[in-house]
Amino acid sequence: MFNIPTPFEIALLLPAMIIGFTFHELAHAYVAYRLGDSTAARQGRLTVNPIAHIDPIGFLALFLVGFGWAKPVPVNPFNMRGDPQRNMMLVSLAGPAANMVLAFLFAVLLGLGLANLFPYGHEIVNRIIYINIVLAVFNLLPIPPLDGFKILAGLLPPSQANIINTLEQYGLIILLILLFTGVISEILSVIILPVFSLLMDLATGISVGF
């Protein structure tokens, strides 16, 4: 059963959640805009303001049940230049990629000792690194409505992509079953912990160098 974090734990987690969700959704909006679709831009999603990206209910659910969501970025693939399937793959990939870049950058900051410049900085940055890895890996799972499903569809030939797209209507049900049976937790732990350890080793290596 998921344990509700204490107010102190929530305070340490908040920066990680806000940063992770904000830049994940911003990356989706930015890549869509660069490819020619201004739908998200017109709705004010090309911003680092977390209010534009965070869904209050989804954000609260993170702390209550351990599973949450942000506001989906509206995308119209037919406004983009080129192949719509390829473009949707790139837009979908942008969110998890942004989270991994953030995890790497904060690992560098940790190694440089900059996290120690403010109270509980080390603990907060550790959580920023970990949560961004979680967001990246979780969203890369090839299950609708996660980004990984659209990435998989973009990699497949159109005929095969059309076949798996029929699963999209059942995606949320499949996702919830896998979440609450613990299957996804088992899958994620196999990937997330080694990646987190790798970035911690990077931080340690940088700190030794200085």
Q: Does residue 1 belong to any structural domain of this protein?
A: no
| Residue 164 is assigned to a structural domain of this protein | yes
| Count of other CB atoms within 10 angstroms of residue 152 | 20
- pLDDT for the residue numbered 172: 84
The Cβ of residue 139 has, within 10 Å, a number of other Cβ atoms equal to 20
User: In degrees, to the nearest 5, what angle opens at C-alpha 25 toward C-alphas 21 and 30?
Assistant: 145
Q: Which tokens go with 185? A: 């937790």
- For 33, other C-beta atoms within 10 Å of its C-beta total 20
Say what the pLDDT of residue 210 is: 63
CB 111 within 8 A of CB 125: no
Domain that holds residue 79: 7-209
Residue 103 falls within a domain, yes or no? yes
Which of 9, 25, 168, 186 is catalytic? The answer is: 25
Say if CB 32 and CB 75 are below 8 A apart.
Answer: yes
pLDDT of residue 1: 47
Residues in contact with 170: Cβ distance below 8 Å, sequence separation at least 6, in sequence order: 144
Give percent helix, percent strand, percent coil of the chain, each to the nearest 5: 75, 0, 25
Assigned domain for 200 exists: yes
Residue-level pLDDT at 156 = 86
Low-confidence ranges of the chain (pLDDT < 70): 1-3, 209-210
At residue 149, the pLDDT reads 92
Note whether residue 147 is domain-resident.
yes
Question: What would the two tokens of residue 36 be?
Answer: 């020619």
Q: Is 123 a residue of the active site?
A: no
Q: Is 34 a member of any domain?
A: yes
Q: What is the pLDDT of residues 34-85, one digit of tens each?
A: 999 999 999 999 999 999 999 999 998 888 877 789 999 999 999 999 898 8
The pLDDT assigned to 179 comes to 87
How many structural domains is the chain composed of?
1
Q: Tokens 């080694």 identify what position?
A: 194
The pTM assigned to this predicted structure is 0.92
2 occurs within a structural domain? no
